[in-house]
């Protein structure tokens, strides 16, 4: 697609155009898996270099369309480039292919000779990526889902987010050209636009997997479409998370002011439009919360992503403020400009644990914007039960003060085993969260091999990760070859191993030691 960054026309990819896009992606899918790792890795490096070379242009364009500031966008673009290069190194290593070879064994332990058997992970085919609005670089055209799919050897069709269409077109131009110049086939990265085009693409038989980052309602609807196809396909949706933070009494006693200041900073960062924003902070009853109001008062107003986001945030904020027995710590507000854009300052409220339970229907939903709830719990509260009951599925769960809990600071003051209570609380957070933090705040997501960015429903539709190198596994499927001639095996499965990837090998006779 040839576009210009000054074109603000609303577009809708037509049915005929969509068929052509998927046809090109299907053709590319037949060629990508056979390309040597060095070629595919070099292409990802070239994509990162293309973004780097156009950084000033892209950051300015993203700022115009999203209202996110230059520091935030600069950091996000850097993250996107690093992400591409990280996956390039993963492709070079080849361990993600999980190559397993079992040699023919005439004396196999089951009593029947075992034929030569070789298994590896192979790309699923064309992947549809629904771009996110709150990360115009890192979760959009050249973001983590795209990087992971390309690393797996899958072509990508991106459904552009309507919040940054010009940026989406420009990034597609730059990255698609870089990939092709580096040796990848035409059609490896393409863009479609429009809500119906996204739905139609998800239903298209040529699309073999899809990923999404967005709202619970939208993601659930798309997940149902993917599951309801005549040939259901994997759908990896990140939908919503309230990311509870539990502060034990020892943490509050030792560092109340810095803890609460960090909380406000995390809630208000990027105008609270981050999927890992802490929606709830649990503190012991009697905690002095004056610092929350002081810190929030110092946060300047920030533009929300779009008028529609502003509408949703205002409705959510009004519902929380109207809830009985909720105390306003800092009311904040939303100013609307002549274009309908919202400019928000943080709203922080407090309530008891009993109030949260009594009004869970209005308080427990995610607020996409700078709003959060401080919840006071009484001594002796079973915090593990609270987590399991009220916060069943999240991207993150944070426990502050675990290092002071050996003195009974889990909230238990009647002499029972504090260590056992702490272990139960950690287990509860582990069962309900994809990432468990013991220090810091969840809005920092490192792009690194060990990262898990996903969690139980409703955080995600499938408990995989969309950040870190493990994300590549979403777009692979296992294939085994039995008794195949060497000449017909994929390169990673051959005995001469021309790609030099790790091979796990089971030798003849080994089964007798099982």
For range 110-123, the mean pLDDT = 96
pLDDT tens by residue, 47-64: 999 999 999 999 999 999
If pLDDT is split at 50, 70 and 90, which confidence band does 2 have? Answer: very low
- 351 is an active site residue: no
**What stretch of H or E contains 427?**
helix 418-432
Distances (CA, A) of 225 to 128, 158, 198, 299: 13, 17, 11, 41
pLDDT tens by residue, 379-408: 999 999 999 999 999 999 999 999 876 544
Residue-level pLDDT at 121: 98
> How far is residue 377's CA from residue 365's CA, in Å, rounded to a whole number?
20
DSSP-derived pairing of the beta strands 209-213 and 347-352 = unpaired
Residue-level pLDDT at 417: 79
User: What are residue 449's phi and psi, to 5 degrees?
Assistant: -55, -30
HSE, CB side, 13 Å, CA atoms: give it for residue 376.
Answer: 14
How many other C-beta atoms lie within 10 A of the C-beta of residue 272?
26
**What stretch of H or E contains 189?**
strand 189-192
- Whether the CB-CB separation of 241 and 280 falls below 8 Å is answered with no
Distances (CA, A) of 76 to 52, 68, 273, 329: 12, 10, 14, 31
Name which of 185, 189, 150 is nearest 169 in CA terms: 189
Write the DSSP string, 310-370.
HHHHHHHHHHHHTSTTPEEEE--EEEE-TTS-EEEE-EEEEEEHHHHHHTHHHHSS--SSS
76, 238, 351, 366: the catalytic one is 238
pLDDT tens by residue, 180-196: 999 999 999 999 999 99
If pLDDT is split at 50, 70 and 90, which confidence band does 418 have? Answer: confident
Kindly state the DSSP code that residue 135 receives in the 8-state scheme: -
Residue-level pLDDT at 5: 44
> How far is residue 481's CA from residue 432's CA, in Å, rounded to a whole number?
38
Residue-level pLDDT at 412: 47
Residue-level pLDDT at 404: 75
Length of the chain measured in residues: 514
Q: How far is CA 185 from the centre of its chain?
A: 28
Residues 6+ apart with CB under 8 A from 338: none
Average pLDDT, the chain: 94
275, 314, 366, 510: the catalytic one is 275
> How far is residue 449's CA from residue 468's CA, in Å, rounded to a whole number?
5
Is residue 483 predicted with pLDDT exceeding 50?
yes
Domains contained in the chain, CATH given:
15-239+463-476 (3.40.605.10), 245-437 (3.40.309.10)
> How far is residue 179's CA from residue 50's CA, in Å, rounded to a whole number?
10
Q: How far is CA 45 from the centre of its chain?
A: 22
For range 59-70, the mean pLDDT = 96
Long-range contacts of 420-424 (CB under 8 A, 24+ apart): 421/382, 421/383, 421/384, 424/384
């Amino acid at each position: 697609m040839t576009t210009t960054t000054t074109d603000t026309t609303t577009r809708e990819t037509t049915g005929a155009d969509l068929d052509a896009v998927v046809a090109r992606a299907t053709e590319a899918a037949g060629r990508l898996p056979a390309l040597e790792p060095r070629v595919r890795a070099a292409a990802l490096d070239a994509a990162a270099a293309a973004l780097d070379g156009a950084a000033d242009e892209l950051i300015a364009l993203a700022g115009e369309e999203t209202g996110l500031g230059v520091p935030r966008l600069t950091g996000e673009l850097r993250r996107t480039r690093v992400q591409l290069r990280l996956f390039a190194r993963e492709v070079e290593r080849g361990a993600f292919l999980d190559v397993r070879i079992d040699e023919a064994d005439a004396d196999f332990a089951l009593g029947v000779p075992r034929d030569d058997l070789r298994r590896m992970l192979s790309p699923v085919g064309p992947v549809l990526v629904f771009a996110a609005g709150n990360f115009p670089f890192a979760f959009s055209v050249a973001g983590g889902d795209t990087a992971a799919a390309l690393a797996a050897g899958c072509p990508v069709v991106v459904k552009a987010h309507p919040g940054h269409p010009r940026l989406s077109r420009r990034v597609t131009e730059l990255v698609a050209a870089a990939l092709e110049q580096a040796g990848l086939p035409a059609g490896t990265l393409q863009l479609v636009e429009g809500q119906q085009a996204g739905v139609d693409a998800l239903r298209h038989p040529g699309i073999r997997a899809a990923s999404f980052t967005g709202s619970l309602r939208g993601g659930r609807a798309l997940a149902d479409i993917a599951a309801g196809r005549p040939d259901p396909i994997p759908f990896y949706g990140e939908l919503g998370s309230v990311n509870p933070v539990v502060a034990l009494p020892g943490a509050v006693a030792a560092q109340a002011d810095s803890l609460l200041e960090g909380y406000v900073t995390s809630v208000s960062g990027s105008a609270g439009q981050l999927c890992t924003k802490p929606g709830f902070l649990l503190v012991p009853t009697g905690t002095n919360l004056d610092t929350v109001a002081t810190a929030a008062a110092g946060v300047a107003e920030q533009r929300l992503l779009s008028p529609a986001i502003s509408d949703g945030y205002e409705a959510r904020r009004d519902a929380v403020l109207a809830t009985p027995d909720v105390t306003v710590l800092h009311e904040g507000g939303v100013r609307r400009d002549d274009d309908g854009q919202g400019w928000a300052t943080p709203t922080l409220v407090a309530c008891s644990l009993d109030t949260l339970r009594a009004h869970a229907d209005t308080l427990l939903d995610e607020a996409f914007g700078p709003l959060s709830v401080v919840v006071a719990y009484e001594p002796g509260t079973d915090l593990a039960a609270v987590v399991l009951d009220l916060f069943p599925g999240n991207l993150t769960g944070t426990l502050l003060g675990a290092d002071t809990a050996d003195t009974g600071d889990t909230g238990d003051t009647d002499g029972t085993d504090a260590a056992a209570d702490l272990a139960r609380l950690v287990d509860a957070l582990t069962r309900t969260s994809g990432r468990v933090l013991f220090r810091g705040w969840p809005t920092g997501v490192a792009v690194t091999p060990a990262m898990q960015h996903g969690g139980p429903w409703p955080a995600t539709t499938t408990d995989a990760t969309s950040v870190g190198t493990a994300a590549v596994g979403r777009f692979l499927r296992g294939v085994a070859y039995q008794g195949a001639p060497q000449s017909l095996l994929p390169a990673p499965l051959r005995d001469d191993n021309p790609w030099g990837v790790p091979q796990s090998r089971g030798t003849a006779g080994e089964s007798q030691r099982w």
